[in-house]
Amino acid sequence: VDNLDTMQRDGEPPPSRRGILGALGLGGAALVASAVAASRPAAAQAPDTTTANTGSAGTQPVASTAPSATTVATTTTTAPPRRPTADDLPLIGAARVFELAAAEVYSRVSARIDEFGFDDATKAFVGDLSARHRAYAEQLGAVYGPGAPFAGSDKIAQQLGAEAIATATGPQVLQGAQAVEEAAVDTHLELLGQIQSVQAATLIASIQIIEARHAATLASLQSTPYDASAPAVEDGADAITAGA
């Protein structure tokens, strides 16, 4: 796996979103939540009896990167469960593990925040990312309840460039942080497609939309133009979890 030092040489144009994740070895990672042990028995609600009929509803390719097909489902009169089901717990736990790992990576960035030559606005923004991801982890833990995973995954932290931070330059930090945020957006998107609990889905949506703003802001700070190459929809292809 390449690290932040090998991702971009100073002076080179920043790569695309997918290129960043590919360089990090995160691209296309499958969502596997089984590594997260659901250590408490399910606060189990009855599993949802609804059946989702997935199919592809075409999206118009307005970007050079064709947006993924949007899945649709038939409507149902069965109300979705509010609290997490037994099947939801590993998924929520995976999201929490990811956020704890991201917070760990960013804590190393924050420790060196004065060394990167950022202006005040960038410094305030990047320096705040660790606390934000820790807040996400805390909220996910609250939804999970007793027995929530306590620590982040070292493997994910390494994949997100935790070790490379020690020697990364300012532009490399921005690039690596964008990769982290892109992976977070896609990871949460995939979880949203599987989690039954309305409470958990609502929380994850509120996290994911801000992480997308993190990613876009980091891209703008690298002067990456927002043009026709920008995907029209998120596709979830860069999702990772502890099992990846």
Partner 1 sequence: MAPMPSPQERDAVTFSRDELRRQTRALERAQRAAESANAELLRYLFENAPAERRAGALLGGIDRRGLFRLGGYTVAAAAVLAACGKDEPEQTNVLAVSGEPPVFEALPNQPVDDIVLLRTATSLENTIITIHETLIQNGFIDDPAIIEVLRVFNAHHAAHAAAFADATAAAGGTACTGINQKMYDDIFAPILLTIANSPGSQKEDAKAFAYSMEQLSGATHQQFVATYSQPSLRKSAMSVGAVEGRHAAVLAVLLNPETLVVPAVASAAPVATTAPPTTIESELQTTVASATTSTTIPPATVSNVIVAVPSTFGSLGPIPLTYGEPNAEGVRTTTNLETPSLNSFMYVDEQC
What is the distance between the alpha carbons of residues 56 and 130, in angstroms, rounded to a whole number?
37
Alpha carbon 179 to chain centroid distance?
9
Tell me the closest approach of the beta carbon of residue 154 to partner 1, in angstroms: 25
Question: Is residue 13 within 8 Å of residue 175, measured between CB atoms?
Answer: no
Tell me the closest approach of the beta carbon of residue 210 to partner 1, in angstroms: 5
Tell me the closest approach of the beta carbon of residue 167 to partner 1, in angstroms: 25
Q: Does 121 bind partner 1 (CB under 8 A)?
A: yes
Question: Is residue 220 within 8 Å of residue 226, measured between CB atoms?
Answer: yes
Give the type of residue at 228: A
**Eight-class DSSP state of 68:** P
Q: Among 189, 239, 240, 244, which residue sits at the site for partner 1 (rule: CB under 8 A)?
A: 189
Q: Does 212 bind partner 1 (CB under 8 A)?
A: yes
What is the distance between the alpha carbons of residues 65 and 136, in angstroms, rounded to a whole number?
30
- From 95-103, 152-160, 162-170, 213-221, span contacting partner 1 (CB under 8 A): 213-221
Side-chain-side CA neighbours of 154 within 13 Å: the count stands at 0
Tell me the closest approach of the beta carbon of residue 172 to partner 1, in angstroms: 19
Q: Smallest Cα–Cα separation from 17: which of 227, 219, 244?
A: 219
* Binding characters for partner 1, 59-98, by CB under 8 A (x = yes): xxxxx---xx-xxxxxxx-xxx------------------
| Interface contacts to partner 1, rule CB under 8 A | 50, 52, 54-55, 57-63, 67-68, 70-76, 78-80, 121-122, 124-125, 128, 132, 135, 139, 185, 188-190, 192-196, 198, 201-202, 205-217, 220-221, 226-228, 230-236
